[in-house]
Amino acid sequence: MSTKVLFGFHAVTVRLKTAPGSIVELHVDATRRDARMRQLIERAQAADARLVESDDARLARLAGSTRHQGVVARVTPILQQHTLDGVLEAVQAEGCGPALLLVLDGVTDPHNLGACLRVADGAGAHALVAPKDHAVGLNATVAKVASGAAETVPYLMVTNLARSLDDMKDHGLHVIGTSDDAGQTLFEADLSGPVALVLGAEGRGMRQLTRRRCDALVRIPMAGAVESLNVSVAAGVCLFEARRQRLLAAATAVRQHPAALSASSAALPG
């Protein structure tokens, strides 16, 4: 049976909430019995998860890191929508509002990927897309930094990113890239419809082929001395601006057409 490792309270707690049956065994620090650990153990016992008391050395060995917080779980992978078509078809079928995708080009740091997954989950993005040859996979460090979002946001690694961006356009998405030299700011762009937001690695930015596939380029207006933001911070700014515009559009539609209230409420997460 294929298994992977999750460590840290956030990542393991989310797995206990969303798929407790996938936990093969849960290793906990035998010396730690504070309120946070007791709550986790109670949740694990309620889910009939196999608990194993382990010392710090064993936990670090299992996690491959000393930053395990005294919690390491061996779990079976959760099957998600693994294709772009599958995700976009599910968005349309479930009526959960206009599609919102985050595309990362050249982001290889697991901490950045984990943070991007976390903000994608918080903003209600439907998937994160990255090229296979210019990205990091979903490892234990990514899962810990993502604080559970690696379990909730589909992570699609595609063979050809340029072709995938064309596929997004065929599905009706507006592909908007971010660039420090763009003439239009993020706040001037219309993000209320189906959108794929494309970000490159900090410093290098998007590759030229990716840039040419974008329908438009926008920049985050910077007021201070620094010229750019960390990619996960930039992703948060972009995604939550999209969410703000969608909530505003839904509220405007309700004011103009009160009968649309129930449909608008269903289309956007709370």
The model's pLDDT over 79-99, given as tens digits with 9 standing for 90+, comes to: 655 788 888 888 877 777 899
Of 239, 237, 269, nearest to 123 by C-alpha is 239
For residue range 196-223, what is the model confidence (pLDDT) as tens digits?
A: 999 998 778 899 999 999 999 999 999 8
Residue 268: inside a domain: no
Residues 127, 66, single domain; the answer is: no
Residues 102, 35, single domain; the answer is: no
- 19-33, 133-147, 244-258: which is most confident: 19-33
Residue 33: inside a domain: yes
Return the bridge partners of 217, or none. 177
Residue 112, SS3? helix
Of 39, 9, 2, nearest to 24 by C-alpha is 2
Quick one: residue 23, left, alpha or beta (phi over 0 = left, psi -120 to 50 = alpha)? beta
Predicted TM-score (pTM) above 0.75? no
What pLDDT does residue 259 have?
A: 57
Residues 137, 29, single domain; the answer is: no
The mean pLDDT of 67-82, rounded to a whole number, is: 82
Q: How far apart are CA 71 and CA 168, in angstroms?
A: 39
Domain extent at residue 61: 4-75
Where b means 16+ CB within 10 Å and e means fewer, 210-243 reads bbebbeebbbbeeeeeeeebebbbbbbebbebbb
Higher per-residue pLDDT: 152 or 23: 23
For residue range 181-194, what is the model confidence (pLDDT) as tens digits?
A: 999 999 999 999 99
Mean pLDDT of the chain: 88
What pLDDT does residue 201 have?
A: 85
Q: Is residue 270 over pLDDT 80?
A: no
What pLDDT does residue 1 have?
A: 56
Q: Provide the CATH number for the domain around residue 36.
A: 3.30.1330.30
Residues 66, 192, single domain; the answer is: no
- Strand ranges inside 132-268, DSSP E: 155-158, 174-178, 184-185, 195-200, 216-219
Residues 64, 88, single domain; the answer is: no
List CB contacts of 68: < 8 A, sequence separation 6 or more.
Answer: 7, 8, 59, 60, 62
For residue range 120-163, what is the model confidence (pLDDT) as tens digits?
A: 999 999 999 999 887 888 888 898 888 878 878 999 999 999 99
- Strand ranges inside 107-256, DSSP E: 127-131, 155-158, 174-178, 184-185, 195-200, 216-219
Residues 104, 189, single domain; the answer is: yes
Q: Provide the CATH number for the domain around residue 91.
A: 3.40.1280.10
The mean pLDDT of 2-13, rounded to a whole number, is: 87
Q: Among the three residues 45, 75, 105, which one is the final residue of a domain in this structure?
A: 75
Residues 206, 115, single domain; the answer is: yes
What pLDDT does residue 14 have?
A: 83
What pLDDT does residue 247 have?
A: 92
Residue 131: inside a domain: yes
Residues 31, 164, single domain; the answer is: no
The mean pLDDT of 20-49, rounded to a whole number, is: 92
What pLDDT does residue 96 have?
A: 73
Residue 157, SS3? strand
Residues 240, 158, single domain; the answer is: yes
